[in-house]
Amino acid sequence: MVFGSRDGSAWIFLLALLCLCDCSASQLTYSISEELNKGTVVGNIAKDLNLNIQDLETRDLRIVSSFSKTYFDVNLRTGNLFVSDRIDREELCPHVDKCSIKIQAALNNPMNVHRIEIHILDVNDNQPCFEEQSHVLNISELLSPGERFPLPVAGDADIGSNAVTSYKLTQNEHFSLDVQSGGEHGVYAELVLQKALDREKQAVIKLVLTAVDGGKPSRSGTLQLIINVLDFNDNTPAFSQSLYKVQVKENADPGTFILRINATDLDAGLNSKILFFLIKTGNLDPSKYFNLNSETGEIHLKEKLDYEETRAYEVRIQAKDQGSSPRRAH
C-alpha cells in the first residue's frame, strides 16, 4: 500500500480502517487518455462529490492508491484531481483492452473513503513493427500463379484500431497481397503469385511490406522482402555456332589441336553446367579419330588421318546440361 503525497503514520492507521469505515461512499468514474502532461486536470472531485472546497483542507483530503505509483493528486484549494505522473497505458496494462486505475479519496471528520476509477484510453503512440528487418523467401520459377506464401506478422503495442489494421506491398508485376483478419494473429497478409517468375530475367526480387495501424494519424512499420527465385532447368544449352568447319593436314600429328566448341545455358548451377559428347553416326565412330574434352569442348586429333581414305569427317556433338532432368542440344 502506498499513500497519497504526504506524510504519515496516521495514514497507515487510516488504511487499516478502510473497510471499517464508510465504504459505501459514492464512486466516481473518469476517462482520460494515456500520456497526458503532468498537471492535466482529470475532474473536480469537490464538485463531483458535493464537498465544500473549505472541507478539503480541514478534513485533510488525501488520494490513496494500491499501485506502486499514485499517478494522481488533488489541489486542495480548487478540488481539481490532476495527473501527477506519466501514465503509459502499454506499461500499465500490457496486452489488455480495458485499462483503469483505481484510487481513493479519503477524508477525516467524519472518515469517508470515496472510490475513484479512472479509465485510461489508448493513444496511438506505438508504430507497427516487425521482429526482423528483412525476410527471405525462396520461390521456384516453376510455380504457377495462385501460389500463396505467408508473411511475418507485425506487432503494435496499442490496441483496437490503434493496432495493425492493414498491410501494403510495393507495386510489382509478380505478386499481390491478400490481407486477412481474424484468428489469434489479428490481421495478417499472404503473398499471392500473380505472374510466374523467370529467374533468367530477374533472380532476386526486393519488395517492401508495410504494416499500417488504424490510428489517426496512422503509423506504419516496414519489412524488406527478399525473394530469391530458385532455378528450374527450363533452358537448353545453345552452341555458339550450329556448324564448325576446320581444315586439318593429313600428316598432322596425333594430339594436334583442332578446334574448341562452345555452348552456353542460361540456367544456374548444374542446370547450366554443360558436358560435351561425340555422337556415333552411321558407321562413323568419331572417338576413333578425335579426342573431345567433355568439359572444355577442345578437340584434338587422336590418330593420323589419310586424305586418300576420307576427305572430310562430319562429326555430331552433343551438349548436355547436368540438371536432374537434363536438356540436350546437338
By CB under 5 A, name the binding residues for Ca ion: 122-126, 156, 158, 162, 199, 213, 231, 233-235, 265, 267, 271, 321
What is the smallest separation between the CB atom of 137 and Ca ion, expressed in angstroms?
18
Q: For residues 73 and 265, which CB has a smaller minimum distance to Ca ion in the complex? A: 265
Q: For residues 73 and 158, which CB has a smaller minimum distance to Ca ion in the complex? A: 158
What is the smallest separation between the CB atom of 216 and Ca ion, expressed in angstroms?
11
What is the smallest separation between the CB atom of 80 and Ca ion, expressed in angstroms?
25
The torsion angles phi and psi of 64, rounded to 5 degrees, stand at: -120, 140
Closest CA to 282 of 313, 245, 250: 313
Q: Which residues contact 38 (CB under 8 A, 6 or more apart)?
A: 82, 83, 84, 85, 86
Q: For residues 63 and 227, which CB has a smaller minimum distance to Ca ion in the complex? A: 227
DSSP 176-198: EEEEEE-STT-EEEEEEE-S---
Q: For residues 216 and 245, which CB has a smaller minimum distance to Ca ion in the complex? A: 216
Scan for cell 493528486, then name that residue.
73
Partners of 320 in beta bridges: 275, 328
Q: For residues 73 and 321, which CB has a smaller minimum distance to Ca ion in the complex? A: 321
Partners of 278 in beta bridges: 317
What is the smallest separation between the CB atom of 174 and Ca ion, expressed in angstroms?
16
Q: Please state the length of the chain.
A: 330
What is the smallest separation between the CB atom of 134 and Ca ion, expressed in angstroms?
22
